[in-house]
A and B are shown apart, each in its own frame.
Chain A
Amino acid sequence: MLRNFVKNLSSKNLRCIIKNNGGITSFGNIRSIAPLSTTELALKDEKINITFVLYDGKRLQTEAKVGDTLLDVVVNNDLNIEGYGACEGTLTCSTCHVVLKDEDYKRLPEEPCDEERDMLDLAYGLTDTSRLGCQITLTKDMDGLEIKVPETINDARS
């Protein structure tokens, strides 16, 4: 809620700072423990379906809460994606790297900030539609979203 509020009124930079803060993009349901308004309670129950497509073709379909980040979804649903979210959403690793379809990437409300791009630069299989899962907040119109999870192994190195 707080994050949505800030998102609506702030500049790109401020958004980065807020998102950078582990306390807000955290695993726990801080928002549902201490709702800041009644609209939050209504929002809390909104669910959509999204699918993670792993590099080996495996599909993990799951119900996801509107307002959660993709990282929250992986953690809260205990999805079996190895090593995902090592830094717990603090923009200091790129283990939650995802690749979106072109049209999905374009309709995301925010562009990646410098800090997110810095981390993406270290990811394997970086594409033009790459994002960090911890920085993508789900909205209602993302129902049916398909997200590719690239391999974490760089074959060139070994």
Chain B
Amino acid sequence: MSYKLIKRLFSSSPYKKCPQVCIVGAGPAGFYAAMHLTKKLEAVNIDILEKLPVPFGLIRYGVAPDHPEVKNVINQFTKVAQQANVNFYGNITLGKDVHLEQLRQNYDAVLLTYGAEEDKLLGIENEDASNVFAARNFVGWYNGLPADKDLKIDLSCNTAAILGQGNVALDVARILLTPIDELTKTDITEHSLSVLSESKLKEIYLVGRRGPLQVAFTIKELREQLKLKNCRTIWNEKDFQDVEKIVPSLPRPRKRLTELMLKSVNEKQTIVDDPNIKYFKPKFFRSPNKFLVDDKKQLAGIELTCNILVGDNLESQKCVPTDEKEILNCDLAFRSIGYKSVKADKDLTLKQGCIPNDKGVVEDASSDLAKLYVAGWLGTGPVGVILHTMGNAFQVAKVMCEDLGKLSNTQTKAGFEEVKKTIAQNNGNVIDWTGWERIDTYEVENGKKIGKPREKICDVEKMIEVAKA
């Protein structure tokens, strides 16, 4: 308190203006950045713009429904949003309802945190076959993302393959393998629950290009998978040749993860004659070469190329294809090989799926416009858990604080007052925080009726209707 007073008294600019900050994307990166800015700046006004009528991004639409604890962070974000100088404006699409240039004209700083919403393609033959899905769309489907609610997925088959070995791949496997009674207690959407309850899937392969020492999933997710009720894990013991010898030399996280895999390998679980048991089968050193289809373009299998690893650094060894091929028979496949960001506005330049930046600052020649920043997956690429996004968002917000402190004493920017005039021409349904609170209450009440913590509204029109009621 006294520090702030002294700072104000000795400040060279007694009439300090209130910087206007615009954040595009109400996911964890946006909220963590807002948290830092409101804590560190004496005066600031923050407007968070979001494409959907509802906040929280991947916390709401990415975190698996059986991980409700991870979503507790919503409470911290809600506190941020409830501050008088933070505003949420939902249902506004950058590049459509408002252009980046307009934002940069009317704010002192613009931070882009709209994430990575597109999935990467494998770029192989028959990738458009029916029953080949992006893991991302499947996640969106069970989590109620409006764009994915109508996904037509056929679970009447025996075998599925997930291509990729990250945490999203494990989420997909776990949701497909978890006994349905356990999912009914979560906030998983009703439409997916009814499809999952009819599932005939018996076995799921988790296919990776490289070996056990290079898997991208983290230990918590693996531990959960290995503990899953009515599910056995079948490894190929040969994949673990020599792994045991290397374990002592690994850094602690990789070491513990590998030890957990080895422990499971050594249990030597086998196929049993029990219709209630399902199987989880990790498969290493294989890259998909092409999808095999029947005459109706239904998926019938995947041709895999066998790989070998080269390089000295074990954790970053590269895989090299051999001439050897094998066929994996399956009727359903998910690609889970990462995401990329979209170019939301004509003025943006993306490189390798993200916006190039230096500690969050996006360099460009438009010196007459507000400085542009990027945080979260849009800037770093789609890697890491919430903690990593938090660290990155704080770091970028710190740079923003320094820059905003140096702002010259020009007139206060108009901010949303001005921007909303343009938005109103394109879209009359801006949803504010009160609107979200109505949606929230509605969803929780609807969930209560069927014994779930929440039943999400999966339709944008319906969200708007409830928010405006």
Contacts and interface: CB of A to CB of B under 8 A. Distances in A.
Interface string A61-87: 000000000000000000010110011
B380 A87 contact: no
Nearest to A80: B39
B310 interface: no
Contact of B69 (A87, A114, A117, A152): A87
A92 B76 contact: no
A135 interface: no
Contact of A153 (B69, B73, B253, B394): B394
Contacts of A121: 218-219, 252-253, 256-257
Given A82-B36, A83-B35, A92 B392 contact: no
Interface string A82-99: 110011101111110000
A86 B390 contact: yes
Contacts of B76: 83, 86
Nearest to A94: B387
A33 B384 CA distance: 39
B365 interface: no
A7 B40 CA distance: 40
B70 interface: yes
Nearest to B28: A86
Question: What's the interface size class on A, roughly?
Answer: 20 to 34
B384 A157 contact: yes
B387 A153 contact: no
A111 to B, nearest CB: 14
Q: Which of B36, B39, B380, B394 has the most CB of A within 10 A?
A: B394
A157 B387 contact: no
A92 B392 CA distance: 19
B96 interface: no
A154 interface: yes
Contacts of A82: 35-36, 39, 394
B70 A92 contact: yes
Nearest to B223: A118
Nearest to B358: A158
B391 interface: yes
Q: Which of A91, A93, A94, A123 has the most CB of B within 10 A?
A: A93
A91 B220 CA distance: 10
B75 interface: yes
Interface string B13-29: 00000000000000000
B35 A158 contact: no
A61 to B, nearest CB: 17
A88 B391 CA distance: 18
B359 interface: yes
B72 interface: yes
B39 A93 contact: no
A88 B252 contact: no
A41 to B, nearest CB: 30
B35 A118 contact: no
B385 interface: yes
Given A88-B69, A88-B72, A92-B67, A157 B388 contact: yes
Interface of B: 32, 35-36, 39, 67, 69-70, 72-73, 75-76, 218-220, 223, 252-253, 256-257, 359-360, 380, 384-388, 390-392, 394-395
Given A82-B394, A91-B69, A153-B395, 19 more contacts: A22-B69, A86-B390, A87-B70, A87-B72, A88-B69, A92-B67, A92-B69, A93-B73, A118-B219, A119-B220, A121-B253, A122-B385, A123-B387, A124-B391, A152-B390, A152-B391, A157-B380, A157-B384, A158-B360
